[in-house]
């Protein structure tokens, strides 16, 4: 079968515009599945050959997508809306390794993968409030997206502040002071190459605005509590002498993934999310084992993708290129599940 | 008449480089009107076929522009320098709807348009200091460009701080804590389509630097008062799930404009300027009913314009494209006044 | 000799990817000299035709580069690793004016050049702690890269804080509150034109993250001391009405350079590094008389380079273009030493 026999499909959110735009650049037909009333971005920007509207993402049109021989590209919102179980039991073609999903979503498994197996530098976690021996950030589980997270400087401070969050599940993480940085990797099972496609920093509300309030006013206003809700992204480049370390981390994560989910391992786009300290050390908080919205500034290519390709290469397009090469080499089963 | 019979002209400031560059991309002759001694950017960057130097913008060379059949593209500095009355009585061809100018420049009319007619979420305004019931920002009228603005947490605090600004006209606005965001729209009367071309955040002095001073030092230095003077712009992208709301707001503003200034309404580039809260709600402070300098990072196209066009499409070029299509369709009177 | 008779070479760090990428765009063969174990970026991104690995940069392969008729492009890390003396006594072809190196590296000579000769606005320096009459920032010499710098509000505060840094050489500089801005110039001895190629702001750890900690938490955590270690760069554009001043400064610096190092003066890329105050005044702290890493966001061109060129023009490519034009016009000796 050739490229014309497939479609590229995704949910209408997150990085769908980029994914579909990239798929069209590579010659694929494209389908976007939209929640009713949220189709406008996909009519304003002509990246979808077909829009399938559903009342809610719970009614995922799997049969229709199978009939159209669509390959689904997962993104952050896709997993959030569908859930891991539904994703794993889905029969439609799926780009990526489903076995990695639980390793990414479970904090302990993620830590085993990144820290134990791949040797990635991560902030300490404190099992119990009594263990706190330095400044920490307290994060809550679930889909609140960074709301209510708070800093505490010791056990007493934690005990006081946690009162405002009765009954919530939390994690206590060492607070590392450093600048946020998100590294966008791509590993192709077809070329066997790891690539760095771009970097971003998130634009978070309201934490990226509180520094615009003077210290005196913050204290006077008496109500300036940071939230970490991602509302956008800012393109950045990284100091070139930090690239060897970034590359080493990416390779280690891919290698380690093979020890936890088998030979196919992690492939496609992924992102290491962390901070860089004044000592130029990376501390990684999390991995996203798929395309992140931080690649959206680079719809027409990034400073890094231009170094490698002679044409605009977004992460969305890179995915489509991977699928195209797999089809052309009759290896499509190596990239879809 | 064809494209060759027109020129595109603007004042040498603000976004003139982008406007003229875009006009040349579309095949127009270009003219820039410069204040004496400020021509250098327009010789360094070869975007103007002709430079007309005036001693001051008060000597606007209208006759000469009329003779050259120039179409003037207004930008923020254009209106600031010329004034609304002079702009309205100008006989040279002007891209845009002059009737919208007073609706944009008068805080009350702007509010009626955006909030009452278009249903846009805006911060509360307090008529009298006595009414203050939450944190507010106090803004001064006129061309100070964000100097002296201050925060107050209640009436007493306001009364104390306003003493430093005797005799100034002010507006008291609810202070919304959220990240600044500027949405760059384009509405074409020729295609009847609303487009989102890009987003930016401003780079403001000194408010975007005070967060680099530690709280302890801010308090020690005893002189860290924020100003909000725009000195640059930073490109950003927005969370994709916020696009439907952004599009809805843009459409509402265009529709509402027809009820206030007649059927032609607002057209060309415009910008909604506001903040995004942790609840992912937009609060809009202001509209710019023309090209904003926040589009300047995108001289070669933005992540959004690349989704729609197969070529670099700045806002400046989009304006020229609109005029070109109007000329080609013999509808030039629909875009100029 | 033609372009094919030369290679472009640099050390593998800083802005080497951009430099080599640009050189290949202009048709040159390229060589990168890498420290052992740090070659990966130059294999991931195919910009180097040849990689020469050395155990350390101290073993600079000068003979080999001379044999290959390579032209070395210096960047910040190049000078840092090689040292000024070794650079000056090097016999390999070198792009740039070596005579400018000591003027740039010595704080007093730099000040004489920029402030006395070129009339550039710079922050005050205080010779002795007793002279401090306003808020100051205290900077340490050497390769610590912005660690330990501290603010002091008067002599007493200085005397207290300096105790933590016994024996260190320091400079006491007036602390100007304004937003950081880096202006990327290029002056070609071949075209005799000054160009502005782009602007950036640095991304510094941890100072660009401390504003994300609320004032209350900063004070509670008791350990938030800013460092100014550059770990990346963010693209920005500048208010267009500030360009005439930026151009004037660039020209003044080039002109003044001729009075200090002779007729050839400063050429190639250089950067003025400073802040912009709310009064829209530039205060320049430093000059980099070569390519800066702040140009790395613009591997595929910047909003400014697109205004001038009809193709992507990074600073790295602009250097190669300069060399190419020099070769074609048989003026290579005007750009290499």
Give pLDDT tens digits for B280-298: 999 999 999 999 999 999 9
- Residues B243 and B250: beta-carbon distance below 8 Å: no
Q: Can you name the CATH fold of C125-177+205-230?
A: Dna Ligase; domain 1 (3.30.1490)
- Residues B211 and C210: beta-carbon distance below 8 Å: yes
- pTM flag (> 0.95): yes
Q: Can you name the CATH fold of A97-121+178-204+231-311+330-337?
A: D-amino Acid Aminotransferase; Chain A, domain 1 (3.30.470)
Counting beta carbons within 10 angstroms of the beta carbon of residue C219, is it exposed (0 to 12), middle (13 to 18) or buried (19 or more)? middle
As separate numbers, helices (DSSP H) first and strands (DSSP E) second, chain C gives: 12, 14
Taking only the tens place, the pLDDT of each residue in B27-65 is: 999 999 999 999 999 999 999 999 999 998 888 899 999
Tell me how far apart the alpha carbons of residues B219 and B234 are, in angstroms, rounded to a whole number. 28
Q: By three-state DSSP, how is residue C33 classified?
A: strand
The pLDDT confidence band at residue A224, using thresholds 50, 70 and 90, is confident
Q: Which of residues 135-154 of B touch A (CB under 8 A)?
A: 135, 151, 153
- Residues A271 and A254: beta-carbon distance below 8 Å: no
Question: What per-residue confidence (pLDDT) applies to B324?
Answer: 98
Task: Name residue, tokens 């004034």.
Answer: B83
Query: B276 to chain A: which residues are within 8 Å by CB?
Result: 205, 231-232
Q: What is the mean pLDDT of chain A?
A: 95
Helix residue spans in chain C (DSSP H) = 16-25, 40-44, 62-67, 76-82, 84-89, 101-105, 107-111, 155-162, 215-221, 243-261, 305-308, 315-328
Burial A121-137 (b: 16+ CB within 10 A, else e): ebbeebeebeebeebbb
Instruction: Using a CB–CB cutoff of 8 Å, tell me whether B45 touches chain C.
Output: yes
- Which CATH class, in words, describes the domain spanning A1-94? alpha beta
> Phi, psi at residue A318, to the nearest 5°?
-60, -40
Tell me how far apart the alpha carbons of residues C97 and C113 are, in angstroms, rounded to a whole number. 15
Question: What per-residue confidence (pLDDT) applies to C67?
Answer: 97
Tell me how far apart the alpha carbons of residues A12 and C51 are, in angstroms, rounded to a whole number. 45
Inter-helix orientation angle B315-328/B16-25, to 10° = 40
Give me the percent of chain A exceeding a pLDDT of 70: 99
Counting beta carbons within 10 angstroms of the beta carbon of residue A333, is it exposed (0 to 12), middle (13 to 18) or buried (19 or more)? exposed
Task: Name residue, tokens 């008729």.
Answer: C69
Q: By three-state DSSP, how is residue C150 classified?
A: strand
CB-based contact C234 B234, cutoff 8 Å = yes
ipTM of this complex: 0.96
> Phi, psi at residue B61, to the nearest 5°?
-80, 65
CB-based contact A214 B224, cutoff 8 Å = yes
Tell me how far apart the alpha carbons of residues A119 and A248 are, in angstroms, rounded to a whole number. 10
Burial B295-309 (b: 16+ CB within 10 A, else e): bbbbbbbbbbbbbbb
Give the closest of C40, C215, C230 to A215, CB-based. Answer: C215
Tell me how far apart the alpha carbons of residues C180 and C284 are, in angstroms, rounded to a whole number. 10
Question: What per-residue confidence (pLDDT) applies to B144?
Answer: 62
Taking the CA of residue C50 and the nearest CA in chain B, the distance in Å comes to: 33
Taking the CA of residue C322 and the nearest CA in chain A, the distance in Å comes to: 21
Q: Where are the domains of chain A?
A: 1-94, 97-121+178-204+231-311+330-337, 125-177+205-230
**Chain C residue at shortest CA distance from A207:** C212
Output helix, strand, coil percentages for chain A, rounded to the nearest 5: 40, 25, 35
Start-to-end CA distance of chain C, whole Å, equals: 17
Give the number of residues written for chain A: 337
Task: Name residue, tokens 């059927």.
Answer: B263
Instruction: Using a CB–CB cutoff of 8 Å, tell me whether B278 touches chain A.
Output: yes
Question: What per-residue confidence (pLDDT) applies to C292?
Answer: 97
- Residues C301 and C314: beta-carbon distance below 8 Å: yes
Identify the CA nearest to C173 among candidates C151, C155, C195: C151
Q: Which of residues 185-224 of B touch A (CB under 8 A)?
A: 193-196, 199, 201, 207-208, 210-213, 215-216, 218-219, 224
What DSSP string describes C191-257?
Answer: T--EEEEEEEEEEEEETTTGGGS-HHHHHHH------EEEEEEEEEEE-GGGHHHHHHHHHHHHHHH
Helix residue spans in chain B (DSSP H) = 16-25, 40-44, 62-67, 76-82, 84-89, 101-105, 107-111, 155-162, 215-221, 243-261, 303-308, 315-328
What DSSP string describes B88-119?
Answer: HH--SEEBS-GGGHHHHHSHHHHHIIIIIIT-
Tell me how far apart the alpha carbons of residues A336 and C229 are, in angstroms, rounded to a whole number. 43
B143 pLDDT more than 70: no
Tell me how far apart the alpha carbons of residues B11 and B42 are, in angstroms, rounded to a whole number. 11
Mean pLDDT, residues A199-207 taken together: 97
Enclosing H/E stretch for B235: strand B228-238
CB-based contact C38 A244, cutoff 8 Å = yes
Sites in chain C below the pLDDT cut of 70: 142-144
Which residues have CB under 8 Å from B83's CB, separation 6+? none
Taking only the tens place, the pLDDT of each residue in A123-170 is: 999 999 999 999 999 998 765 677 889 999 999 999 999 999 998 899
CB-based contact A278 C220, cutoff 8 Å = no
Helix residue spans in C107-212 (DSSP H) = 107-111, 155-162
Taking the CA of residue B278 and the nearest CA in chain A, the distance in Å comes to: 5
Taking the CA of residue A23 and the nearest CA in chain B, the distance in Å comes to: 12
Instruction: Using a CB–CB cutoff of 8 Å, tell me whether A277 touches chain C.
Output: yes
**Chain C residue at shortest CA distance from A154:** C221
Taking the CA of residue B218 and the nearest CA in chain A, the distance in Å comes to: 6
């Amino acid at each position: 079968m050739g490229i014309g026999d497939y479609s590229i499909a995704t949910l209408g959110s997150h990085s769908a515009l980029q994914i579909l735009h990239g798929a069209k650049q590579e010659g694929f037909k494209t389908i976007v599945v939209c929640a009713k009333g949220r189709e406008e971005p996909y009519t304003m920007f002509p990246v979808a050959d077909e829009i399938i509207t559903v009342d809610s993402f719970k009614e995922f049109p799997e049969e229709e997508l199978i009939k159209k021989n669509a390959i689904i590209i997962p993104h952050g919102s896709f997993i959030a809306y569908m859930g891991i179980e539904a994703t794993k039991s889905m029969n439609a073609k799926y780009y990526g390794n489903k076995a990695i999903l639980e390793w990414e979503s479970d904090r302990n498994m993620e830590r085993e993968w990144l820290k134990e197996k791949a040797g990635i530098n991560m902030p300490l976690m404190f099992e119990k409030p009594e263990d706190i021996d330095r400044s920490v950030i307290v994060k809550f589980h679930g889909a609140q997206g960074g709301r209510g997270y708070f800093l505490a400087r010791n056990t007493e401070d934690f005990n006081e502040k946690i009162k405002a969050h009765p009954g919530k599940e939390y994690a206590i993480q060492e607070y590392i002071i450093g600048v946020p940085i998100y590294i966008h990797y791509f590993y192709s099972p077809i070329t066997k190459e790891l690539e760095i496609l771009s970097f971003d920093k998130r634009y978070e509300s309201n934490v990226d605005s509180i520094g615009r309030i003077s210290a005196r006013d913050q204290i006077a206003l008496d109500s300036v509590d940071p939230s970490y809700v991602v509302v956008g992204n800012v393109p950045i480049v990284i100091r070139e002498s930090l690239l060897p370390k970034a590359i080493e981390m990416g390779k280690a994560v891919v290698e380690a993934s093979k020890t936890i989910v088998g030979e196919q391992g992690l492939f496609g786009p992924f992102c290491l999310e962390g901070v860089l300290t004044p000592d130029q050390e990376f501390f990684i908080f999390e991995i996203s084992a798929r395309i992140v919205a931080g690649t959206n500034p680079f719809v027409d290519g990034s400073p890094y993708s231009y170094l490698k390709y002679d044409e605009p290469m977004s992460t969305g397009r890179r995915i489509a290129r991977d699928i195209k090469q797999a089809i052309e080499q009759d290896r499509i089963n190596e990239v879809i599940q």
